[in-house]
Amino acid sequence: MLAKLIGLCAGLALLCFFIESDLRRAHREALWQASLRERYGAPKRRFPALERFLYEAREAGVSLPALIGIAASVFVVGALVVSWAEESASAGLVISLGGTLAGLVGYVRVRYRKRRSALFQAWLREAMPIAITTLRATGRLDSALEDAAALVQDRRLKAELQQTVAMWKGLHTVPEQAFVMAAERWGIEEITQLARLTEEAIRYHADLAELWLRFRHQVERDEDKRRTLRAKTLAGRRNGLIYAGIVVAMFGVAYPRVEAYMTPTVRVGFWIVLMIMLACTWAIWRAGEVIEV
């Protein structure tokens, strides 16, 4: 009986030793991953909106000094014109400032989205066929990414892939983890999904070439559907812009000048029509967003 108890205690002690060793290894790996993400991830800032704008401007390839100079010139000219038209300096400053900021943010956002879309298309059309061919031949993700970095023609994608290759070679990490961090840095949902699927597939020894090939076909089908739906909703979006322009003209230009000549009935009718047009504008844009998604 004593021997059995001693054997049981020895077995439990050995089991606890192995569990403690695995937990210690997992804790070290978690700390290492956290240090990598702190070094290469986006740090927390006090002004996230401003940091997001600066990030998008940098990724869009926009020269901030030149853009700020153009925006300042537009603001001054707009303030002078609106102040002269409205005969109010305060109105000119407020309207010009709002319009300049909206135009500035809108321009950077459009450029950022175009550059991100161009990066994704380059990844889909250039990098993925090269990587799939290498995966079929070798089954190794590191070789696939290295070949893609060496053979793609798009300069920005080549630089991003070369940075990814240098990341796992310089930090002694595995290629799938470097690929996940690179995809999160690019901010493209489809590539992030592929990176996480690749990480899971390597863990369970799945066929990476078949995974990437199926994923590419699915993304291409989704892109074709998006282009078709976007073309179908183009007329609705254009009508929404027309409605928005009419609403702005009625509320910001016409009403201040004719309000003194309106009867109470006409004034109530004006506001009813304005509310109806606002509702129509919201409905058009909402329908377009739902269809496009």
Q: Give the residue extent of every domain in the chain.
A: 116-226, 233-293
Distance (Å, whole) CA 175 – CA 142:
6
Distance (Å, whole) CA 193 – CA 176:
12
Q: How many residues does the chain have?
A: 293
Q: For residue 280, what pLDDT is reported?
A: 73
Under 8 Å CB-to-CB from 126, ≥6 apart: which residues?
A: 148, 151, 152, 153, 154, 157
Collapsing DSSP to helix, strand or coil, 141 comes out as helix
- The pLDDT profile of the chain, 293 residues, written as one tens digit per residue, is 545 445 555 555 555 555 555 556 655 556 555 555 554 455 555 667 777 777 778 877 788 788 888 888 888 888 888 777 767 777 778 878 888 888 888 888 888 888 888 888 888 888 889 999 999 988 888 889 899 988 998 888 888 888 888 887 776 678 888 888 888 888 888 888 888 889 888 888 888 888 898 888 888 888 777 777 666 666 666 666 676 676 666 666 666 677 777 788 877 887 787 777 777 777 766 665 544 44
Which token pair is 83?
């102040």
Distance (Å, whole) CA 208 – CA 38:
29
208-232 vs 189-203: helix axis angle to the nearest 10?
A: 160
Per-residue three-class SS string for 220-232: HHHHHHHHHHHHH
Q: For residue 180, what pLDDT is reported?
A: 87
Nearest to 220 by CA among 82, 228, 238, 271: 228
Which token pair is 75?
């603001």
Q: For residue 186, what pLDDT is reported?
A: 83
Written as one letter, the residue type at 232 is K
Global model pTM greater than 0.75: no
Distance (Å, whole) CA 118 – CA 51:
23
234-248 vs 208-232: helix axis angle to the nearest 10?
A: 50
Under 8 Å CB-to-CB from 131, ≥6 apart: which residues?
A: 144, 145, 147, 148, 212
Q: For residue 238, what pLDDT is reported?
A: 67
Q: For residue 88, what pLDDT is reported?
A: 73
Which token pair is 136?
């079929």
Residue 176, CB-side half-sphere exposure with 13 Å CA sphere: 17
212, burial (CB in 10 Å: exposed 0-12, middle 13-18, buried 19+) = buried
Q: What share of the chain is helix, strand, coil (3-state, %, to 5)?
A: 90, 0, 10
